[in-house]
Chains A and B, each alone.
Chain A
Amino acid sequence: MLDRILEEAPRFFTYYNLIFLGGALLTTFLLTAFGCLLGFLFGFLMAVARGTTGWLLFPIRALAFLITESFRRIPFLVTLFIVFYAFRGTGISWSIFWVALVAVVVIASSFIAEIIRAGLESVHRNQWDAAAAMNMSTVQALRYVILPQAWKVILPPAFSFFVLFIKDTALASQIGLVELTFAGKVLNNRGFSAALVFGTVLILYFILSYPMTRFGVWLEARFATSRHR
């Protein structure tokens, strides 16, 4: 089989095909990167919102509850279609990339919100009391006291989610976005062997995914080590 792949390779790795694959890789990368970053940001805000009390913030709390509790429960694919047809219905003519990005951010936010909420809740209530008693605001308490203690509970599941998430962006091909998996299918359909095409796709996913894992390990070592022993 290897000699067949080697024989086919020069025809496959043409300039045009490489540009095509590179573009698809970039699309997958951008979906993942923005999904993770914006997902982390909105997830964090939703986790904090859900921890608030008092009737003034009730609408925000309710919204955060609704988003996290619904989108974590429906398949990724369904969320994609909901967002896709929602854009269609409202007549907003965004490109398919932006539609997919919105879906991906909604999904990542709702999952990460739960991961962060669990992390914040792992810090003992009495730490909040002590912070409040010395006049720290909620933001100051989070920054100086709660988050430094919560990172070790947040980071490992967050990064294991990110790794799963990279693969799941492939579902965006279902609404017609040419990302890595879609590009693989297109090239395969053009007659290139599955082994060569999907072997290349596999390597490209690995190139995206592995540094992510290393980054997670680095962050953990930096922010979430037990300080001694």
Chain B
Amino acid sequence: MQHLDIVDISARYGSHQVLRGISLGVDRGQITSLVGPSGSGKSTLLRVLVGLLPPETGHVSFDGQRIDYSNKKNVKAIRDRFAIVFQQYNLFQNMTALDNVTIAPIKIRKRNRAEVIDEAEELLAKVGLKEKMRSYPDQLSGGQQQRVAIARALALKPELLLLDEVTASLDPELVSEVLDSIRQLAAEGMTMIIVSHEMGFVREVSSTVAFMVDGKMVEVGSPADVFENPKEARTREFVNKILQH
């Protein structure tokens, strides 16, 4: 049985059909990377998984349990087990880095305040932001905000971590900081789905690479298969284009 099983998911924004029958399986402790051209629905798939966009058809199972996204209780339950890091970080602008990390564990999960703060400080130190705990998002660089967002997601102790283009808007120097944080998580056995354009990184950390175009899953395989020996013509075209630069 697969840890996460996505079966034939379709979703749309208004009249715009974004996902057209996506299927994908994810094993525990593995990293699955979603790659593909812009607008292929990679981010949308992550939004569907955390219940921000209800799917039209298809279903998702987690540890064999079917998630009904039209059921509030189901969505709540799944949001306790999944955490997402958004492409734009979406840090709460009215809170310090530390408050961003602690707000949900303290106020929503009602955990012990002192304990949560200890954990949060540890997490922020782990992503190299011990000195920036009292800073507000607009006092932080993009890379720092991104790492606060990762710490915030980790404070929720997710079983599945979704990372949306975590390095897309970062300086090259900052990219390595964020990627180091993710590598560390991978080493600790966190199950992750990553949307990324950093092909070198994707190749290095992923156990599975899923190539999407126009809301469809074109090819799923090991990084070696997808990058060196793609079966589909569309994948070959994409890989060649990327490897050119």
> Could you give, for residues 53-95 of chain B, a 1 whenever the CB lies within 8 Å of some chain A CB and a 0 otherwise?
0000000000000000000000010011001101010111110
A150 nearest in chain B by CB position? B94
B136: Cβ under 8 A from any A Cβ: yes
Partner of A130, one of B51, B92, B139: B92
Please give the number of chain B residues whose Cβ is less than 8 angstroms from any Cβ of chain A in the complex. 24
Complex: A144 Cα to B107 Cα, angstroms: 9
Cβ of B83: which chain A residues have Cβ within 8 Å of it?
133-134
A127: Cβ under 8 A from any B Cβ: yes
Q: Smallest Cβ distance from A107 to chain B, in angstroms?
A: 31
Complex: A145 Cα to B50 Cα, angstroms: 19
If over half of B's interface residues share one DSSP class (helix, strand or loop), that class is named, otherwise mixed; here it is loop
Interface centre among A129, A131, A136 (most CB of B within 10 A): A129
If over half of A's interface residues share one DSSP class (helix, strand or loop), that class is named, otherwise mixed; here it is helix
Cβ of A131: which chain B residues have Cβ within 8 Å of it?
92
Cβ of B76: which chain A residues have Cβ within 8 Å of it?
135
Contact yes or no, A129 B94, CB < 8 A: no
Contact yes or no, A149 B156, CB < 8 A: no
Interface centre among B80, B86, B92, B93 (most CB of A within 10 A): B92
Contact yes or no, A149 B93, CB < 8 A: yes
Cβ of A200: which chain B residues have Cβ within 8 Å of it?
none
> Which chain A residues (119-149) contact chain B, with CB distance < 8 Å?
126-127, 129-136, 140, 144-145, 148-149
B108: Cβ under 8 A from any A Cβ: yes
Q: Given A135-B104, A140-B107, A227-B136, does the pair A145, B86 have CB atoms closer than 8 Å?
A: no
For the complex of A and B, 4 pairs with smallest distance between CB atoms: A130-B90, A134-B104, A148-B94, A126-B90
Task: Give the interface of A toward B (CB within 8 A).
Answer: 126-127, 129-136, 140, 144-145, 148-149, 227-228
Task: Give the interface of B toward A (CB within 8 A).
Answer: 47, 50-52, 76, 79-80, 83-84, 86, 88, 90-94, 103-104, 107-108, 136, 139, 152, 156
